[in-house]
Structure 1
Amino acid sequence: MTAFDLRGKRILVTQSDTFMGPALCDVFTELGAKVIADARALADPALPETMVRAAGHIDVLVANLAIPAPTTPAAEVDDDEWRHAFSHMVDPLPRLMRAALPQMMQRKSGKILLMGSASALRGMKRTSTYSAARGAQIAYIQSVGVEAASHNVQVNAIAQNFVENPTYFPAEVQANPAFQERLRREVPLGRLVGQREDALFAAYLCSDAANCFVGQVFPVCGGWVAR
């Protein structure tokens, strides 16, 4: 038994077939939640409202938003790359909030969790576009989290890096000796955080056991820290 469960909770997970989506859906279901999994990317401005309306009553919204991370040098980043990152990872957030927050605020109950990235917490070469979009996500969640707290709605984020997932660390990357050496060199844990480990932490933040956290950003990085 875990110290918490999700029995009876209706949880909407976006981009459910990418990034942390598959692991989240599995763990949430295991803990008793009714998972509403939607695999669509959210670049279409109308889709977040349509998605939430179709889901009906939701107790938890998990904003699982991801794109393959560009590695363009900063001096070569063009408008298309920048716009693509923001249209898929940043622009959907206020649309999701407009769709989901009113019902939660009316009930005085609900949670919204962003699955974000620690790339926003530490400068890294050739990640300017991706890190900027992830940083915008975090700043937005911190602000909305403080605002929603008075309505008993908890809005938080996980900022992760070196967490096993099919989008950023697929099996072929993990099998690369150079990557394994990088883990030993850069990550105190010496390995990737497991998908299940990360999903269980997300489940905790989606549960009633975590009602005290608002506008928080939780690094999950195998011991990797911002500096």
Structure 2
Amino acid sequence: MNLFDLTGKRALITGSGGGIGLALARGLAEHGAQVVLNGRDPARLDVAATQLRAEGHAVETVPFDVTDEAAVIAGVAQVLAGGELHILINNAGIQRRTPLTDVTLELWNEVLTANLTAAMLVSREVAPHLLARGSGKVVNILSLMSELGRKTIAPYTAAKGGLKMLTRAMCAEWAAGGVQVNGIGPGYFTTEMNQALLADAAFTTWIEARTPAGRWGDPSELVGAAVFLSSEASNFVNGQVVYVDGGLLAVL
């Protein structure tokens, strides 16, 4: 048996209109999964879906705002009405860079809602379906900032640290029901969210020197961890975080 085969599995990936989310959707589809793309912009999802279908993959789109509780309830219900769901990847998130002394409550709540509360809302709606079947996978996309702090991103750091602990709490509640909940912590990747950092030559030089691999990651390099945590290969892995960071966390 191929432990990494996702044939017959259906996966919902939030924030999958582009960037890491789309890379993960493509990776799961390449391993046999039927993928459900999610985001707030239907047009962007349609473009992503067209790309994947042209590559021969089975793709659906269900647009909804993961920060809106009513929209999440309705959106997940629509996903479940379309068939069995086996995998949830909570990838949606935002970044807002500003010194902590300038952070407004509005900005703080915006970042925490998008990066932490949204994962709780979507998982809360999906979990009963997985538990009723007695099997399923939830993969939360964390960050190096689940472990480290940097200037100007305090709300993001707080949210991603909270998501690490939410992953463990989900494990504590759902593991006995046959659901594995784990996280992936990306290092510095060439994504739309990091365009400002990529354009900063001094910062890029620092990251390349700070990372043992000596470079930024490509979103496709997160697929291996996602497939592992979405497949039967990880059936006894629960409450863990896999950091995919070129070794950055391993060294001073």
Does the alignment reach a TM-score above 0.5?
A: yes
Query: Is the 1:19–1:65 contact (alpha carbons within 8 Å) kept by the matching residues of 2?
Result: no
Partner of residue 118 from structure 2, selected from 73, 81, 92: 92
Q: Identify the residue that residue 215 of structure 1 maps to in structure 2.
A: 239
- Give the TM-score normalised by the residue count of structure 2: 0.82
What residue is the counterpart of 1:197 in the other structure?
221
**Deviation digits for residues 114-153 of structure 1, max 9, x if unmatched?**
1111112012122211101111111111111122110110
User: How far did 1:47 drift?
Assistant: 1.9
In structure 2, how many angstroms separate the alpha carbons of the residues matched to 1:156 and 1:95? 16
Residue 63 of structure 1 is matched in structure 2 by: 90
% of aligned pairs identical?
30
* Structure-to-structure mapping, 1:1-227, within 5 angstroms: 4-40=4-40, 41-56=65-80, 57-67=84-94, 69-168=95-194, 170=195, 173-174=197-198, 176-225=200-249
Q: 1:98, 1:184 → 2: CA distance?
A: 38
Q: 1:204 offset after TM fit, Å?
A: 1.2
Higher RCO (CA-CA < 8 Å; seq separation 6+): 1
Following TM superposition, by how much is the alpha carbon of 1:209 offset from its aligned partner in structure 2, in angstroms? 0.8
Q: Distance between the aligned counterparts of 1:198 and 1:92, measured in 2?
A: 21
Return the alpha-carbon distance in structure 2 between the equivalents of residues 89 and 173 of structure 1.
20
Asked whether the 8 Å contact 1:11–1:60 carries over to 2, the reply is yes
Q: Which runs of 5+ in 1 are unaligned?
A: none
What's the offset of the Cα at 1:90? 1.5
Cα pair 1:19 1:64 within 8 Å, conserved: no
Give the CA RMSD over aligned residues: 1.9
- Deviations along 1:63-106, one digit per CA (max 9) or x if unpaired, are 11211x22211222110110111121222222212211111111
- AA partner of residue 74 (structure 1): L
How many residues align? The count is: 223
Q: Distance in 2 between matches of 1:47 and 1:92?
A: 11
Give the unaligned 5+ runs of structure 2.
41-64
Cα deviation, residue 58, structure 1: 0.6
Tell me if the contact between 1:14 and 1:62 (Cα under 8 Å) persists in the aligned partners: yes
| Whole-Å separation in 1 of the counterparts to 2:155 and 2:166 | 17
The answer on whether the counterparts of 1:142 and 1:217 sit within 8 Å (CA) in structure 2 is no
How big is the shift at 1:112?
0.5
CA distance in 1, matches of 2:200, 2:103: 28
Give the match's secondary structure for 2:213. coil
Deviation at 1:26, TM superposition (A): 1.1
Q: Which has the higher helix share?
A: 2
Give the letter aligned to residue 65 of structure 1.
A
CA distance in 2, matches of 1:196, 1:93: 22
Query: In structure 2, how many angstroms separate the alpha carbons of the residues matched to 1:82 and 1:114?
Result: 20
Q: Which amino acid aligns with 2:14?
A: T
Moved more, 13-22 or 209-218: 13-22
